[in-house]
Amino acid sequence: MAPRNKEQEQEVLNWVFAVIGEKVPSGQYEDILKDGIWLCKLANKLAPGSVKKIQERGTNFQLMENIQRFQAAVKKYGVPEEEIFQTADLFERRNIPQVTLSLYALGRITQKHPEFTGPTLGPKMADKNERSFTEEQLRAHEGELNLQMGFNKGASQAGHGGMGNTRHM
């Protein structure tokens, strides 16, 4: 398990609440996020209506459902499943660094959504770097490959017998 990084956790909280449009509450990172309420509100800001029901209070099971609704919403939003934390990672504090990584992944994915104009989290994603070559450039390269391949014509492993046919006098 990766060690916790308090700076990243603070950056995540600042981003979550900047997107939601509220002040970061006081308290521990995992305690603020634990019940999934803020995460559901975040998901609804990124993709309105993506979390239909948010349990504001209730049993542990009902609060864990918030986390599961958030996970489903961000998966649909485009976060790869392998980058989404498990419910127990947050609710039972099993792997808080994974929660942070998941939220960074979500922050990264927002950049693929032109309709989202809010704050960003983490490094900017690279834009597609398409290259186009002329037919002439491609043909010239083919010629180079053929020359390289022809250079070894006639070379073989013949005469490279193993230890068996070497004589030592």
Q: Where are the domains of the chain?
A: 28-111
* Superfamily for domain range 28-111: Calponin-like domain (1.10.418.10)
| CA dist., res. 103 & res. 98, Å (int) | 9
| pTM: predicted TM-score of the whole model, two decimal places | 0.73
- State the Cα–Cα distance between residues 102 and 90, nearest whole angstrom: 11
pLDDT per residue rounded down to tens, the chain (169 residues): 678 999 999 999 999 999 999 999 999 999 999 999 999 999 999 999 999 999 999 999 999 999 999 999 999 999 999 999 999 999 999 999 999 999 999 999 999 999 999 998 977 666 555 566 677 766 665 665 555 555 555 555 555 555 555 555 5
First to last CA, the chain: 63
HEC readout, 11-59? HHHHHHHHHHCCCCCCCCHHHHHCCCHHHHHHHHHHCCCCCCCCCCCCC
